Amino acid sequence: MGAERRRAERGFTLLEVLIATVIAALALAVLFQGGLGGLRASSRAAREGEALALARSHLAAAAARPAAGEWQGTEGDGFRWHVRITALAATTPGAFGATGLFGIQVAVSWPDGAAWRRVELASTALGPAGGRP
């Protein structure tokens, strides 16, 4: 019994400590990678939300008084926008003058690392035929 008691009191061997350290390091690395992936996804979602809000804003502005043509520009944080309005059909003159149906396309793009991401919206609107913005 004395030999068994001394062996139990000795503790862990160096090999057991090294294996436990390696296992703990691998588990921490996996957790760290998962956390980084979540942060990247959150950042991408926030940027896409900003781009979508910008696209909706330009779409609403274009639909308020549509006129055929193309416009483009940049916003803060590297966003680029492009608006294209095309005349789809003209109606007959009425009480409020001649109106036309316009197709509106809005695209917003932004850099995401080495690639560019893009959000596109499309709609139609009635406006004065041959009108100016």
Give the pLDDT of the chain (133 residues) as one tens digit per residue: 555 666 556 778 888 999 999 999 999 999 999 999 999 899 899 999 999 999 999 999 999 988 899 999 999 889 999 999 999 887 767 666 778 889 999 999 999 888 999 999 999 998 887 654 4
Report d(CA 114, CA 116) in Å as an integer. Answer: 7
pTM confidence score: 0.70
Q: Which two tokens stand for residue 34?
A: 């998962």
- Find the DSSP H helices in 1-133: 2-9, 14-64
The pLDDT of residue 104 is 97
